[in-house]
Structure 1
Amino acid sequence: MKALSEQAVEQAAAVLVVEDEPLIRAMAAEFFMEAGYHVLEACDAAAALSILEGRDDIGAVFTDIEMPGDMNGLALAATIRGRWPAIAVLITSGRARPGASVLPLGADFIPKPYLPTDMIAKIAALMVSGRLE
């Protein structure tokens, strides 16, 4: 796993963590930073889209499903995959368990609570597979 994560870090960019709960967002951000990723944070979908529109170095988005505002994490993921198809998207939730048919094409899901190693491995795999398409 470490080699895959290192490869993803070398080839790309930042991970945007989208989570409305500040402590959970900080914890996820710390996991990604410890794995060597540059991390950006957003508290909702609107903030995430604003960040994405202003940057070209984001390689992956890690988003919760349930967030305040007009757009939940699944809608955010679909928007990202439509506008920025090269960006990997990993979706999480402690309540919802969306089936594969609900996930946007190319996105993946990891349930809360997740192990940091599993989260990092999934993001790294999504980033690498996105480069191979």
Structure 2
Amino acid sequence: MLLVEDEPLVRTLAREVLEEEGFMVLEAETGDEAIRILNGLDRIDIVVTDVRMPGHHDGVDVARHARTRFPEVPVIVATGFAANITNRLQQLDPQAVLMPKPYSLERMAALARALSSGAASCP
């Protein structure tokens, strides 16, 4: 799993919850870093990304890039600005799952588990 979140505390807590659920978590602090990580992978089970991040690439860019490399990878996009992002996400096929903020980490982990069909590994 690739977890993309620029807020260190949120990223750390999310990683801990996801690891408790059995996921192996790769972390990125920016969209730019996430795209570099995706470029170095042979496969990924799921991508969870925030939308707004510092750098040139936001979470929707990360989702698009992930789908370019891995067309069927499940993607969860977290945002507090759903109205502004929905049109950009509709271009993805299969469509990314939008998770409005604030969200509970347990809910996010359950959604990730459901979308990844129980797969809890990462290369």
- TM category, shorter: 0.7 to 0.9
Q: Could you tell me how far 1:125 is from its partner in structure 2? A: 2.6
- Report the counterpart of residue 104 of structure 2 in structure 1: 115
Aligned pairs for 1:1-133 within 5 A: 15-93=1-79, 95-98=80-83, 100-103=86-89, 104-106=92-94, 107-128=96-117
| 1:59–1:86 CA contact under 8 A, matched in 2 | no
State the TM-score, normalizing by the size of structure 2.
Answer: 0.81
- What SS is found at the alignment partner of 2:46? strand
Residue identity over aligned pairs, in percent, reads 39
- What SS is found at the alignment partner of 1:102? helix
| 2:63–2:75 CA contact under 8 A, matched in 1 | yes
Give the strand-richer structure, 1 or 2. Answer: 1
Q: Could you tell me how far 1:101 is from its partner in structure 2? A: 4.1
- Report the counterpart of residue 121 of structure 2 in structure 1: none
Pairs aligned (count): 113
| 2:43–2:70 CA contact under 8 A, matched in 1 | no
* Residue segments in structure 2 that go unaligned for 5+ positions in a row: 118-123
Partner letter of residue 27 of structure 2? E
State the TM-score, normalizing by the size of structure 1.
Answer: 0.76
Q: Could you tell me how far 1:17 is from its partner in structure 2? A: 0.7
CA distance in structure 2 between the aligned counterparts of 1:34 and 1:79, rounded to whole angstroms: 27
* Residue segments in structure 1 that go unaligned for 5+ positions in a row: 1-14, 129-133
Supply the RMSD in Å over aligned alpha carbons: 1.7
Partner letter of residue 96 of structure 1? F
Higher relative contact order (CA 8 A, sep 6+): 2
